C-alpha cells in the first residue's frame, strides 16, 4: 500500500489498480487450487455415499455404497466434539504477567458467557467445522464483531393520569440490542483462496474469501460506511452470481438448485471477493468494482480468518483428509460387496444354453438374471449354465478391508461402540485401548492448537477493542442459580495465553483403575487432619464424571452454621444435666463425640 501512495494515483485509478490486483490474485489461487477442487468433490461424494451410474445395459448389476466412510468420520467427529466440550470454560485464559491474573479470570468468564449464549450456536458451528475438517482436511472460519439491533413489541400498562388506576395494556415497539459480541462463522473450503506461496493463514501474504450477499446486506453495508458503491447498475449488469462450490456439490447428489430469474423471486446475490492482508482489506463486488479498500479495522492486526487442519503437512497449506486416507479402501469395499451380490444373483437366477439360427452378439455373453445364451448347434435340450456361489473367502475379504480402514484411522470396533470380532484378554484390550487413545489424543491436541486457540485469541482481542462500557455478565453460582457481575473495559485488559479446556480421552480401563485408586486413597486420608477432606471428596466426584460438586457438598457457611448449632446443643446439655456417665456431656451417647475437630456433615 505504501508503494501505491508514493505513486500519487487518483482515487479512481488507485481503486481500479486494487481491483485488478484482487482479480489477478484470485485467478492465480483458483488455478493453483484446481487439483484440490476435484479431490474435495470426490471426498464429498464418498462421505455422502454417491456412486456413479452403471453403463447402459448393466443397470441390473449391484451398485451399492457401503457407508463405512460416514461411520468412520462420525466416530472421530463424535470423540473430538465430546472432548472439546467436556469441561467449561471451553477456552481458559492464562495471564502472561502477574498483573493480569484477575483480568484473565474476567476474560475467561466473559468469553464463556458469550460462547454459551443460546443463539451463539457454538456447538453447531463446531460440529460443522469438525465435519468439514475431516472430509476436506481443513475448514476455514472468520471471526468479527457483530452489532445488531432488533425491534420488539411489548405490552406496557396504561394508567389514568388523574386517578392512577390502571386502564389496561398497550403494545409498544422498542429497539433492543440483539447482539453486541464477537461472532464467528464457518464457511466452505471452496470459498477460501489462499496465497499459493503460504503454508498457513499467518504465513500467507494475503487470503481471499469469496462470499455472496443479498441486496439488503449490501445496502446495510453501504449505510454503515463499510462499502462505497459508485455504479450499482454497472454491478447488476455483470449478472447474478451463483455459489459455484455449493452448486457443484448439489449437482453431485442430484439436488442442484432449480434455475430461476433471481430478480423476479427476490433472491439476487452479489459475489464479494474480500482480500485480507495483515494491515489492509480490499473488497471487489461482482468482479467489476472495488467497493472497499481500507486499513484492517481490527486491533489485532491479523487476517480475521482461521483454518483448522486435521493432519497438517510441513510446507503445505492443505493437510491430509480423513476421507482421503480411506478413499480407495472404500471403493474396494463397495466393489467387493457388489461383486459378491452379483455372484449370488447369478447363482440364484439361472441362465440357459439354447439353439439360435445366427451368431452370438457380445452382449449375449453378459450374465444377467434369467438371461439366455443362443448357440448355433445343440446336441441336447437347452441346458442350464452353472454358476458357482461365491467362495467363503469373499466374505473374509470384506472383513480385511474394514480392518485396514480401522487400522488407518484408529476407529476400531470398540471405538465405534460395536462388539469386537476377536476375543482378547483384559490386558490385551487395555494395551489396544491405550494405543488407540494416544492417537486420538494427538489429533485432539492438534485441533486445539490449530483451531480453538486462534478462536480464543480473536475473542480476546475483539472484546478488548469493542467493549467500551460496563457489561453485565451472567454466571452460575454455587447454589445452581445465576448471578450477574459487572465488567468494565479495564477489567479485561491484559496479555493472555489460550488453553483449550478439552478433556483428555482416557481409556475405559484406566478410568476404572483411577476410580478404584481414588476411593482407596479417600479411605486412607479422609480422617487425616493434614489433608483437605473437602477437596479430596471433589476428586472422588470428578473420578465418577460428576462436575457440579458444589451442589452436592455443603458450603462453608452451612458447615459453620451446623457447627454453631452443635455447640449450642452441647452447651445446653451441659447446663441442664452436667456430666453424665462415661464423661459425655448432656447424656449424648459416646459415639457422637467421635473424632475431635471433625465438623458435622463434613
For the entire predicted model, the pTM comes to 0.78
Give which of 308, 332, 336 is closest to 321, Cα–Cα.
308
Compute how many other C-beta atoms are within 10 angstroms of the C-beta atom of residue 449.
Answer: 15
pLDDT digits (tens, 9 = 90+) for 158-195: 998 888 899 899 999 999 999 999 999 999 999 999 99
pLDDT at 358: 52
d(CA 514, CA 508): 10
302: which 3 cell numbers?
A: 491479523
542: which 3 cell numbers?
A: 470428578
pLDDT digits (tens, 9 = 90+) for 3-54: 555 567 888 999 999 999 999 999 999 999 999 999 999 999 999 999 888 9
SS (H, E, C) 490-547: HHCCCCEEEEECCCCCCCHHHHHHHHHHHHHHHHHHCCCCCCCHHHHHHHHHHHCCCC
Cα→Cα distances 492→38, 51, 445, 460, Å? 46, 54, 27, 9
Give 363: exposed, middle or buried? Use CB within 10 Å, 0-12, 13-18, 19+. exposed
513: which 3 cell numbers?
A: 483403575
Please list the ranges in the chain whose pLDDT falls under 50.
Answer: 260, 380, 507-509, 579-602
Is residue 90 within 8 Å of 351, Cβ to Cβ? no
146: which 3 cell numbers?
A: 457483530
d(CA 600, CA 354): 97
The distance from CA 328 to its chain's CA centroid, rounded to whole angstroms, is 26
d(CA 480, CA 499): 26
Distant-in-sequence, close-in-space partners of 508: CB < 8 Å, separation ≥ 6 = 433
Pairing assessment for the beta strands 289-295 and 305-309 based on DSSP bridges:
unpaired
d(CA 86, CA 91): 11
Is residue 352 within 8 Å of 372, Cβ to Cβ? yes
529: which 3 cell numbers?
A: 487432619
Is residue 54 within 8 Å of 63, Cβ to Cβ? yes
User: Hey, which residues does 586 pair with through a beta bridge?
Assistant: none
pLDDT at 308: 95
pLDDT at 232: 83
359 phi/psi in degrees, rounded to 5 = -70, 165
Is residue 440 within 8 Å of 505, Cβ to Cβ? yes
Cα→Cα distances 407→135, 334, 386, 412, 415, Å? 18, 18, 39, 7, 12
d(CA 371, CA 362): 13
SS (H, E, C) 307-337: EEECECCCCCCCCECHHHHHHHHHHHHHHHH
188 phi/psi in degrees, rounded to 5 = -70, 145
Buried b (16+ CB within 10 A) or exposed e, 78-93: ebbbebbbeeebbbbb
pLDDT at 267: 62
d(CA 571, CA 180): 58
pLDDT at 1: 55
Amino acid at each position: 500500500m505504501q508503494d501505491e501512495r508514493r505513486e500519487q494515483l487518483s482515487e479512481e485509478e488507485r481503486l481500479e489498480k486494487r481491483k485488478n490486483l484482487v482479480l489477478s490474485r484470485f485467478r492465480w489461487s483458483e488455478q493453483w487450487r484446481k487439483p484440490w477442487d476435484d479431490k474435495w468433490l470426490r471426498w464429498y461424494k464418498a462421505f455422502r455415499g454417491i456412486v456413479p451410474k452403471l453403463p447402459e445395459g448393466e443397470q441390473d448389476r449391484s451398485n451399492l455404497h457401503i457407508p463405512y466412510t460416514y461411520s468412520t468420520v462420525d466416530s472421530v467427529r463424535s470423540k473430538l466434539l465430546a472432548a472439546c466440550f467436556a469441561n467449561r470454560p471451553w477456552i481458559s485464559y492464562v495471564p502472561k504477567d502477574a498483573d493480569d491474573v484477575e483480568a484473565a479470570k474476567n476474560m475467561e468468564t466473559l468469553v464463556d458467557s458469550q460462547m454459551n449464549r443460546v443463539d451463539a450456536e457454538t456447538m453447531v458451528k463446531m460440529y460443522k467445522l469438525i465435519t468439514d475438517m475431516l472430509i476436506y482436511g481443513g475448514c476455514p472460519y472468520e471471526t468479527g464483531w457483530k452489532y445488531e439491533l432488533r425491534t420488539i413489541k411489548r405490552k406496557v400498562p396504561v394508567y389514568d393520569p388523574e386517578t392512577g388506576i390502571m386502564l389496561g395494556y398497550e403494545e409498544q415497539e422498542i429497539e433492543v440490542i440483539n447482539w453486541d459480541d464477537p461472532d464467528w462463522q464457518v464457511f466452505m473450503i471452496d470459498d477460501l483462496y489462499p496465497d499459493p506461496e503460504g503454508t498457513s493463514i499467518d504465513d500467507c501474504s494475503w487470503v481471499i474469501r469469496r462470499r455472496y450477499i443479498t441486496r439488503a446486506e449490501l445496502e446495510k453495508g453501504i449505510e454503515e460506511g463499510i462499502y462505497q458503491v459508485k455504479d450499482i447498475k454497472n454491478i447488476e449488469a455483470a449478472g447474478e452470481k451463483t455459489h459455484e462450490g455449493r452448486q457443484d456439490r448439489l449437482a453431485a447428489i442430484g439436488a442442484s438448485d432449480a434455475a430461476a430469474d433471481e430478480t423476479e423471486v427476490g433472491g439476487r446475490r452479489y459475489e464479494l471477493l474480500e482480500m485480507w492482508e495483515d494491515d489492509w482489506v480490499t473488497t471487489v463486488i461482482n468482479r467489476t468494482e472495488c467497493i472497499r479498500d481500507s486499513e484492517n479495522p481490527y486491533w489485532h492486526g491479523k487476517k480475521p480468518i482461521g483454518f483448522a487442519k486435521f493432519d497438517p503437512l510441513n510446507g503445505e497449506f492443505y493437510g491430509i483428509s480423513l476421507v482421503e486416507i480411506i478413499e480407495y479402501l472404500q471403493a474396494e469395499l463397495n466393489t467387493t460387496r457388489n461383486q459378491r451380490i452379483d455372484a449370488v444373483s447369478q447363482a440364484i437366477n439361472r441362465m440357459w444354453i439354447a439353439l439360435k439360427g445366427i451368431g452370438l452378439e457380445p452382449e449375449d455373453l453378459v450374465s444377467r438374471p434369467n438371461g439366455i445364451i443362443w448357440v448355433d448347434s445343440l446336441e441336447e435340450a437347452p441346458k442350464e449354465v452353472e454358476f458357482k456361489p461365491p467362495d467363503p473367502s469373499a466374505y473374509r475379504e470384506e472383513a480385511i478391508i474394514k480392518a485396514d480402514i480401522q487400522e488407518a484411522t484408529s476407529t476400531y470396533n470398540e471405538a465405534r461402540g460395536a462388539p469386537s470380532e476377536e476375543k482378547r484378554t483384559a490386558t490385551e484390550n487395555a494395551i489396544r485401548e491405550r494405543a488407540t487413545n494416544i492417537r486420538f489424543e494427538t489429533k485432539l491436541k492438534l485441533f486445539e492448537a490449530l483451531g480453538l486457540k486462534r478462536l480464543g485469541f480473536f475473542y480476546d482481542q475483539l472484546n478488548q477493542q469493542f467493549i467500551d462500557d460496563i457489561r453485565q455478565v451472567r454466571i452460575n453460582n454455587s447454589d445452581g442459580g445465576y448471578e450477574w457481575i459487572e465488567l468494565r473495559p479495564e477489567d479485561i485488559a491484559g496479555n493472555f495465553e489460550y488453553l483449550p479446556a478439552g478433556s483428555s480421552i482416557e481409556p475405559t480401563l484406566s478410568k476404572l483403575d483411577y476410580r478404584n485408586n481414588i476411593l482407596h486413597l479417600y479411605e486412607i486420608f479422609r480422617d487425616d487432619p493434614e489433608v483437605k477432606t473437602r477437596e479430596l471428596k471433589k476428586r472422588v466426584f470428578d473420578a465418577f464424571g460428576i462436575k457440579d460438586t458444589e451442589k452436592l457438598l455443603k458450603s462453608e457457611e452451612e458447615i459453620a452454621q451446623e457447627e454453631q448449632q452443635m455447640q449450642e446443643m452441647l452447651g445446653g446439655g451441659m447446663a441442664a444435666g452436667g456430666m453424665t456417665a462415661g464423661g459425655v456431656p448432656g447424656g449424648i451417647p459416646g459415639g457422637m463425640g467421635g473424632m475431635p475437630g471433625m465438623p458435622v456433615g463434613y
